[in-house]
Structure 1
Amino acid sequence: MSAFDIVKKLCEEQKISVVELEERLSFSRNSLYSWKKNKPSSDKLEKVADYFDVSTDYLLGRTDKKRYYDLTEKDEKDIQNELKKIINGEEVDSAFAAFDGKVLEELSEEDRELLIASWENTLRLTKRIAKEKFTPKKYRD
């Protein structure tokens, strides 16, 4: 997939045309269309990446991660493992350490599912925030 195809897809997600993006970024008309055959210049690539809040590597098709702090498959597996530990009442290194696993048994099935979903979302959000906040600048895209 070319850089242009990726930009076009991002434009569709934002419900704007490529021409409208060019106007918003003060690019000359059809300059983004030239990305179909030519490599984009670094300054224009950065402007487009900043506009869509994605990495330049994502625009160039080098990665599927839009942002450096997006969760990877490994992160998702870690979250699921942590969640299992919380549910089973095992020792965990988080705010859930004080949780008593017996509480889940006392809840209705619906409340139990809601609580587990809430924990999962909390783990996912804290992991993403930690990556965003603590990733050294040299590893950011």
Structure 2
Amino acid sequence: MSEKELTDLIERIKERRLKLEMSYQDLSDATGISKSTLQRYETGYIKKVPINQIEILAKALHTTPSYLMGWDNTVTESPSVTLTPRDERQIAADLEKMLADLDSKNAMAAMGGTVEDDEDRELLKASLQATMRLAKKIAKEKYTPKKYRHEEE
């Protein structure tokens, strides 16, 4: 690891930890890395951070390893919440209802007809499913009190 990569890593770990309002203890709890080791990483006392720990830190800090390493300038925040099996079942049920409604002539009249090609139908289904999953994650993030957010991971 070059000096610049180490400097970028140190700055970005600290920046993300502070942005997420995490203490060393919070980050330690989320990663399994000791609090003192995390402090040594941030101060630059430890000059070599194992790759597997960079991945663990990135996940806990809701970003990517490439961002932490300074290879990518986009934070690319990963959602801090995950969908439960119940959420997935609800999305699947809602998606099936939506697709059934699309098959009715009245629902599709405004769009010029029904979706007849199987490939187009599958693309539409995948697009709707991805959008519904993202919307559910955003809603959970927005409406979950901060004090409970780290317990879900």
TM-score, length-scaled by structure 2: 0.44
- TM-score of the aligned structures, taking structure 1 as reference length: 0.48
Higher helix share: 2
